[in-house]
Structure 1
Amino acid sequence: MPSVSKQFTLVLCVISIVAAFYVYINVPPSWVESQLRFETYTDNKGNWMYQAGGKTLKIDQIVDYENSPLRQSALTLTTQPPALKQQWVWLSDSSESADVQASSLVLLKADFHYGLWSLLPAFIAILLCLITKEPFVALLSGIVVGAIIMGQFDIFSQVLIPAVGTTSAASILILYLWLLGGLMGVWGKTGAAQAFAEYMSKHYVKGPRSAKLVAWFLGIIFFQGGTMSTVLVGTTVKPIADKAKVSHEELSYVVDSTASPVAALIAFNAWPAYIQGFLFIPGVAFLATESQRVAFFFASVPFSFYAIFAVIGTLLLSLNITIFSGPLLKKASTRASTTGELDSKTARPISAKELHNTNVPKGYKANLVEFLLPLVSLICVAVITHFNMGSPQIHWAFATALFIAASIALIKGMSLHQLLEGLGDGLKGVVFASVILMLALTIGLISRQLGGGIFLVESLGDQIPFWALPLILQGMTMLIAFSTGTSWGTYAIAFPLAMPLAWSLAQSQNLAHPELYLMICFATVLNGSVYGDQCSPISDTTILSAMTTGCDLMDHVKSQILPASYAAMLAGLCWTLSALILT
């Protein structure tokens, strides 16, 4: 990093820390009422029950809205945390019919934000990522700034250790550090990945274009979305693409842009079951039950314009049609084809060299089955558990693949010492990337705690023309997901506001087809969040796309943001025209 850049980075860090102390001392939090609506009903004993997270839970106490300390009029009068975290309330007289009661029973929560200051940690992290290309320094700086704003000055015991101790963090360590790293290490030790690349190059892949088409096709097949798709496609196609001299920027873009976008289009995965929980609107009959909301999700798929254009954009790039690819991807493609260099001269990939080198023991001959059998078992376990248990058990899938790969190596004569050496190389190869993932998870958690998404949602007014709402929702969710690095977290923030607001506008402005309008607004939230997550340097899928393809993280972010933005702009135009013409 040049000295000028170092000086600027240091000045920026000092200014951001001073600003964080200013917010901590002088800016009181603004408390905001949040209303969460669930499917509620009475059981045969007359108890009110609700469903959340796949569980049926009892509602112990209900009060009138006017008596709740969590109502907005009460929260506005204080800057102190309310005594209650949440409370069930009636929004109307409880003597009405049972159906009306159920629709007027909501769970109140008190959230807070610091206005624009809530976005400061994510802003600093993203800006430093772009300037320094050092994600570790950038993410840690953002975490420090956020911790100071919240008054948590013991960064280790109050921020990092609690974040590392969560279920999500443990899942990352087990999946990406142990299972994924171990599997890639075994494949490197046995030479299985190289054998697969040589077989594909001999029979199917004849150059960069066919290698990219294989990557695109695998992205369509592995439609589970998110981290699973990026890891599966990235690890499978990298040896093929490297042999065919495909630049890592192009490969990581194809992998990233066919993960969540494809999952939104071919939604036979965990997405509908998760998202439907946020779609309940009182009085809207076609969203009354879980099955109806899932059906609504699938009916809205034709309006997922961003996902459609993103997948088409990667297909065009795979066919070497670079008109919508942007200058950075074109430059990367030209560099790889003319010099054979898969990375830029300044690139610093976040995956270590251990993952890209083979160290096959003397006398050991790799077989194509050693790559395909673990891969097929991984896919089968994920698909079978998805249909049997409601969501794919990714840890089971990778553990099975690792066990099979290791067993084949031992049966073929590799010593236990050599196998463990390969496992060790694999673990070393993903240690740094796992640390980056942990930091990204932590800063995303801090951004949500500071209420950045809540602030953006609160800033959205309801006195707007109906045709403008899809664009506003798109911009809002793009910004929230980009700032927090998560699309699913954005759904939890945006859908409970966006859906009732869209329905209210459709009714107040007498739209002829309010259900279609609701589908359009639903698609903007779904797709805007996917865009923000895909382009954010603090997103787990962005980091994993770079890691599994061997790409520099910021080279990946900067090269894909322009073609992704082209798709987003086209999608915004289509949503606006759809609202004007169809509703």
Structure 2
Amino acid sequence: MLKNISKLAVGFFICTLVLAVYVQDEQFKHWQVQTHFYPIAQEQDELIATINGQQTLVEPLVPFAQSQLSESSPKDFAYFTPQWVKMPDEKIAYVTASYHFGIWSLLPAIATIAICLITRSPLPALLAGIAVGTVMLSQNGLTGGVLIPALAQEGAVFLLILYLWLLGGLLGMWSKTGAAKAFADYMTKTFVKGPRSAKLVAWTLGIIFFQGGSMSTVLVGTTVRPLADKAKVSHEEMSYIVDSTASPIAALIAFNAWPAYIQALIFIPGVTFLATEADRISFFFSSIPFSFYAILAVVGTLLLSLNVTMFAGKRIRMAQQRALTTGELDAPGAKPLSTKSLQTVEIPAHYKAHHLEFVLPLIALVLTAVATFVLIGTPEVTWAFSAALLVSVVIALSKGMSFVEVFQGIGAGLKGMIIASVILILAVVIGGLSQQVGGGLYLISLLGESLPYWLLPATLQLLTMAIAFSTGTSWGTYAIAFPLAMPLAWAIAQSQGVTNPEVFMMICFATVLNGSVYGDQCSPISDTTILSSMTTGCDLMDHVKSQIFPASFAAILAGALWTLCALWLA
């Protein structure tokens, strides 16, 4: 059986690699010029643009008549250089040229996801997808052309420091000191009386830590893992609750970095209610009632926490029954991302654990993240996890643990996180490659202004779901979709005489926001999907397969609600 699976995976990889060689020819490239409008302020004699939270000098500023945009038919977009252009209406735009390979742009994502489903192993699937994308982009070798440059980037170094060293070290310390077990014992005696109360604690923490993204996922997952295991909650249930609460709740309780990031992507010249940064942030919050997928996703995890499995799907119901009847938290043949070294407690004989050794590092983590968010406008995640690890080490040393024992605990944590960290970095690489080959750009280009206005919200939902699923990132999808989808929605609203264009724009905005959350949440190459599996001890593909049904059920209901709202309210 295993031999047949391996042959099928190898055969599929060879086929996609041959197709990649075929596609890499220049004739398959479809170029598209994009104009991006960013908030611009004048400081003394200089113009400063704010792009994704970073300030950039606007220079040189080229008049429209002298720009490449003024050429009616540029001969070769491959030589189109990004430039700041002063448009005829006096607005300043950053102009770039991007390309896609048509439907072939989806090839790296298809190769990755298909091989992941065939082998149930993310490592070979990610490497296969990266190889396919590398060939399509004609890079100079998989190692020298893609992997080494990717590992040298700031984002990859950040992932290594955060998830390998800091998170691994913290989990190792909790295992070495017995803090996780002591916390689980305390919670079991005080609050958790069974699987339902354990799941409700996980859901509540997901609501409390509403910042979203990887930090919320890691924080909730690592906190609830010991008490959920003790209460015999299946890993599929717990990973679904953690994953399907983290990002959806961030879209609903949006007092986080999301509005500031997204508002810069939705400026449309001439649209008064999107004119200023304050207008666009207000528009974001006004659109929250239309975030139907996020609302249904959070309600779905609450229902599962209450043991209502009617909408959870067959896989989660089977996992729940397995845990209740056999005590097995994983499916047969499962390969959890977190290794057993993090689950084995080897407390020194002279050391007595206390539940506060688990709680105090978490408090330090949250306080550091909140303080940095208040003081400098963004939560410094590495500072937060560094503070947590430092507090854990100081407590252990003050209670008599030796330096050697402390480093043994940290070392065990690092070993336990190596595979998961490698998978996480490769997922980031394949996501970047998918964007480079233009998968999202191709899907958005399928739309046209002739589409009936009431079909646009559901269409945008499907496209952003596909983009985020294939790239593994919601924020990356926002960067691709919002600058294209919002002007299209406005053009359709004007050309088809929509009665309430602002409401229609809110509905379309919510579909892009929520469709991206769904795709990111369900993608096997998403950081939040991987981290949800890793921190709760679940097999990655078991998590993906069990989560896809309830998430898709919520997405279908949300799509129907957006369509009805477009017909009745817009």
Please, what TM-score do these two structures have when normalized by structure 2? Answer: 0.97
Match of 1:178 in 2: 165
TM-fit CA distance, 1:69: 3.1
Contact 1:176–1:434 (CA under 8 A) maintained in structure 2: yes
Take 1:26 and 1:384, find their aligned partners in 2: how far apart are those partners? 50
TM-fit CA distance, 1:48: 4.9
Which digits, 9 at most, give the CA deviation of each residue in 1:147-191, with x for residues without a partner?
A: 111112421111001111111101100000000000000000000
* Residue aligned with 2:33, SS: strand
Take 2:71 and 2:117, find their aligned partners in 1: how far apart are those partners? 39
TM-fit CA distance, 1:70: 5.3
Q: Does 1:189 align with 2:185?
A: no
Match of 2:68 in 1: 69
TM-fit CA distance, 1:511: 2.1
Contact 1:70–1:110 (CA under 8 A) maintained in structure 2: no
Take 1:130 and 1:561, find their aligned partners in 2: how far apart are those partners? 13
Structure 1 counterpart of 2:84, one-letter code: W
Take 1:383 and 1:193, find their aligned partners in 2: how far apart are those partners? 24
Query: For 2:306, which of 319, 325, 328 is the aligned residue?
Result: 319
Contact 2:468–2:520 (CA under 8 A) maintained in structure 1: yes
Match of 2:268 in 1: 281
Distance 1:54 1:249, change over 3 A: closer
TM-fit CA distance, 1:238: 0.3
User: RMSD of the TM alignment (CA)?
Assistant: 1.6
TM-fit CA distance, 1:43: 5.9
Which digits, 9 at most, give the CA deviation of each residue in 1:116-140, with x for residues without a partner?
A: 1111011100011111101000000
Take 1:38 and 1:363, find their aligned partners in 2: how far apart are those partners? 60
TM-fit CA distance, 1:484: 0.3
Take 1:178 and 1:44, find their aligned partners in 2: how far apart are those partners? 44
Q: Does 1:509 align with 2:496?
A: yes
Take 2:426 and 2:71, find their aligned partners in 1: how far apart are those partners? 34
Which digits, 9 at most, give the CA deviation of each residue in 1:557-582, with x for residues without a partner?
A: 00000100000001101111111111
Superposed, which structure 2 residues align to 1:115-264 within 5 Å?
115-264=102-251
Take 1:449 and 1:373, find their aligned partners in 2: how far apart are those partners? 43
Contact 1:133–1:554 (CA under 8 A) maintained in structure 2: yes
Contact 1:71–1:108 (CA under 8 A) maintained in structure 2: no
Match of 1:101 in 2: 90
TM-fit CA distance, 1:538: 0.3
Query: For 1:88, which of 62, 68, 84 is the aligned residue?
Result: 84
Gaps of 5+ in 1: 93-99
Q: Does 1:561 align with 2:535?
A: no
Take 1:129 and 1:225, find their aligned partners in 2: how far apart are those partners? 26
Which digits, 9 at most, give the CA deviation of each residue in 1:183-227, with x for residues without a partner?
A: 000000000010000011111111111111110111001101010
* Residue aligned with 2:24, SS: helix
Q: Does 1:403 align with 2:400?
A: no
Distance 1:526 1:72, change over 3 A: farther
Q: Name the % identity.
A: 57
Distance 1:448 1:197, change over 3 A: same
Take 2:215 and 2:180, find their aligned partners in 1: how far apart are those partners? 19
Q: Does 1:33 align with 2:26?
A: no
TM-fit CA distance, 1:28: 3.4
Structure 1 counterpart of 2:10, one-letter code: L
Structure 1 counterpart of 2:426, one-letter code: L
Distance 1:72 1:406, change over 3 A: farther
TM-fit CA distance, 1:29: 1.6
TM-fit CA distance, 1:273: 0.9
* Residue aligned with 1:89, SS: strand
Aligned length: 570
Deviation larger for 342-351 or 285-294: 285-294
Distance 1:71 1:194, change over 3 A: farther
* Residue aligned with 2:94, SS: strand
Match of 1:344 in 2: 331
Match of 2:376 in 1: 389
Contact 2:28–2:102 (CA under 8 A) maintained in structure 1: no
Take 2:198 and 2:214, find their aligned partners in 1: how far apart are those partners? 22
Take 1:246 and 1:44, find their aligned partners in 2: how far apart are those partners? 60
